[in-house]
Structure 1
Amino acid sequence: MRFIELFAGIGGFRYGLEQMGRLQQGVERPRRSRVIEGKGGKSQFDCVWANEWDKYASQIYRKQYGEICEQDIRTVDPSTIPKHDLICAGFPCQSFSIAGKRGGFEDTRGTLFFEIMRIARAKRTPYLLLENVKGLLSHDEGDTFQTILRTLDEFGYDVQWQVLNSKDFGVPQNRERVFIIGHLRGQPRPKVFPIGEADEVYTEPDGQVVHAIDSNYHKGWLDNQQRTMVLNQPKYGEYHTSDVADNMAGTGKSSQIKAVIGNSIRRLTPIECERLQGFPDNWTEGISDTQRYKCLGNAVTTNVIEAIGRQWINGL
């Protein structure tokens, strides 16, 4: 299936979908190094075009995949976009987040949803896979989501959606997002939702997340002391490594998620945050830590995208 990524960020949709194809062929998901393109055979999902405006995210995307259309989506001519079967887009969520100003469609970023539809209508794209914060469902007493559903209906799409939590898909992060799938009437309906919980919540005490310490951060704290991870303590409480981290936000503030080791506190490293989002280690290497945190906070959790892709292919 040929797809394009809008608001591509650092390539979360692409990594998840293409990695799913490799997993279907028995290639193990790497945890410590980036995927080598083409390893394990051709994926069942093939990204043919991507767009991103942020220069730092574009830098990472270009480093990983070699190409990206770095341009304001509002100025993109649909005729320049290759033929495709699927649009993937995690359209800007700040306008819809309960934690934010809840500006919604009054905010200019809110109207970028309609840029997705502008391209979908021009290209007659058969399928859409959209992602946003859970707060989209309740914003403006539900009117914002109803506007989206009405727009999709007017453009000829039938719709299914589900709220999925990253913690149920192999990463220790409590991150709820609504995923919307649209298909043009006359196209086969993909049997994707509902997706049940994964086999188990990802719990690796002293493991994958916490032990990835950069020498600039650990300052001799790595020993046999019990490790605890906290988010914005005391406002959001405290939890142990057998629990899950709270949601990463795309503000670029490194103070949001902390690790408590004995009596010492430090921020999570960029590598740890990459693991919270299901990316290989050092995926975002090459830009400042502030920009790495921001890019990762804005990304989709790749494990969730893998699960959606697997359901999609199995349901065809």
Structure 2
Amino acid sequence: MKFLDLFSGIGGFRLGMEQAGHECAGWVEWDKFARQSYQAIFEIKGEWNAHDIRSVRFDEVPRADCWCFGFPCQDISVAGKQQGITNGKRSSLFFTVTQLIRDTPKESRPSYLLIENVKNLLSINRGFDFLKLQIELDEIGYDLEWSVLDSAEVVPQHRERLFIIGHLRGRRTRKVFPICQNCEEASEANRPSTNTLTTRYSEAQGNGSYVVEGESNKVHQIGNISTSKSFGGNPQIGRVYGTDGLSPTLSTMQGGGREPKIAIPVLTPDRIKKRQNGRRFKTNGEPEFTLTGQDRHGILTNDLRIRKLTPRECWRLQGFPDWAFDRAKNTGVSDSQLYKQAGNSVTVPVIRAIAEQMEIEEANK
């Protein structure tokens, strides 16, 4: 099956789709640094591509069975101004894509749409924005199914995202959701109420498995180094996480010191016998007291320490193999951009799990 990679970023959609056996017909990305990484990662010679979706004409777009796009979430995310898909300057680009489909003759429209965005799209503006999205896609001929999937099923990062599948009426496309564990053994009575992914990502080059199971499948925050003045007063940026749980959801992490921070809480190294402000000491391995910028109690300064995730680790948390990171890094793109690119990407194994369920009957291809 051929697909278009719109708002492609560094190619998370593409890598997952290709791992499922599908073929890229073209891509669109406006950010020059993301384009730089994308072109280093993939064999793009001779492929159709464009810089700005707003300048693309329907008659220049190569025909494809599926259009993949995670349209900008800045106006939808709870971290943004929440202007929504109609009033938001960035998130309203959703309608730029649907206009391209409107302009495209029906026989040339994609059989599938694979759309990704933040979970808040379901509830922003009291749910009316999601209703507008459904109406828009219904008007251009698509029946929908959707699900919120957590990347923690396949990588050690808690990242809930909404995935929408559009099925063009008249084409015999395969239903995708639910993607669940042991579906063949589950009856309607005991079928899981939330979708869980069966795919378990393992890097072929030997980086190990990202399998996460059981009670450890949680984000474990052990403290916070934010003060009222640090990081602009944003407590989220100063959160410190233990190594015994999942990573928090990666964001674009723009600005200094915003990367996720990891610490291993241990017995206060330099005050073995004294209590601090009446609080008891932690034993080795217990959750740490709240951390501040001035007080490093509970952290071994000469060994184990607070540290931020490296760009490579952030790419791994999104399911990218090391060879892909190395190709992007070797172009000279900055660490700041590498962090941003990881935060903006989709999780590759999630896309692969979805893509493996997508199929069009041969007679309709």
1:16, 1:305 within 8 Å by CA — same for their partners in 2? yes
Q: Partner of 1:90 in structure 2?
A: 70
Shift in Å at residue 64 of structure 1?
Answer: 1.4
Structure 1 counterpart of 2:171, one-letter code: Q
Q: Partner of 1:14 in structure 2?
A: 14
Q: Partner of 1:131 in structure 2?
A: 116
Distance 1:311 1:194 in 2: 10
Q: Partner of 1:153 in structure 2?
A: 138
Q: Deviations over 1:83-129 (max 9, x none)?
A: 11100000001111012111112111122001111222314222100
Q: Partner of 1:257 in structure 2?
A: 260
1:230, 1:258 within 8 Å by CA — same for their partners in 2? no
CA spacing shift, 1:188–1:315, aligned 2, 3 Å: closer
Note if 1:233 corresponds to 2:224: yes
Distance 1:231 1:118 in 2: 47
- 1:257-276 → structure 2 map (5 Å cutoff): 257-261=260-264, 262-263=299-300, 264-276=305-317
Consecutive unaligned residues in structure 1, runs of 5 or more:
21-42, 211-227
Distance 1:9 1:194 in 2: 27
Note if 1:171 corresponds to 2:151: no
| Larger of the two Rg values belongs to structure | 2
1:133, 1:178 within 8 Å by CA — same for their partners in 2? yes
Q: Deviations over 1:171-214 (max 9, x none)?
A: 11100000000011111142210112245999xxxx9699xxxx
Query: TM-score, with normalisation over the residues of structure 1?
Result: 0.79
Note if 1:107 corresponds to 2:88: yes
- 1:1-316 → structure 2 map (5 Å cutoff): 1-20=1-20, 43=21, 45-67=22-44, 69-104=49-84, 105-121=86-102, 122=104, 123-168=108-153, 170-196=154-180, 197-198=196-197, 233=224, 235=235, 239-253=241-255, 255-261=258-264, 262-263=299-300, 264-281=305-322, 282-283=325-326, 284-285=328-329, 286=331, 287-313=333-359
Distance 1:231 1:59 in 2: 37
Shift in Å at residue 48 of structure 1?
Answer: 0.7
Task: Find runs of 4+ consecutive structure 1 residues off by over 4 angstroms.
Answer: 199-202, 207-210, 228-232, 234-239, 313-316
Query: TM-score, with normalisation over the residues of structure 2?
Result: 0.68
Q: Partner of 1:35 in structure 2?
A: none
Distance 1:167 1:176 in 2: 8
1:232, 1:258 within 8 Å by CA — same for their partners in 2? no
Q: Partner of 1:28 in structure 2?
A: none
Shift in Å at residue 233 of structure 1?
Answer: 2.7
Distance 2:169 2:360 in 1: 20
1:252, 1:292 within 8 Å by CA — same for their partners in 2? no
Of all paired residues, the percent bearing the same amino acid is 44
Q: Deviations over 1:48-75 (max 9, x none)?
A: 1000000000001111124362411100
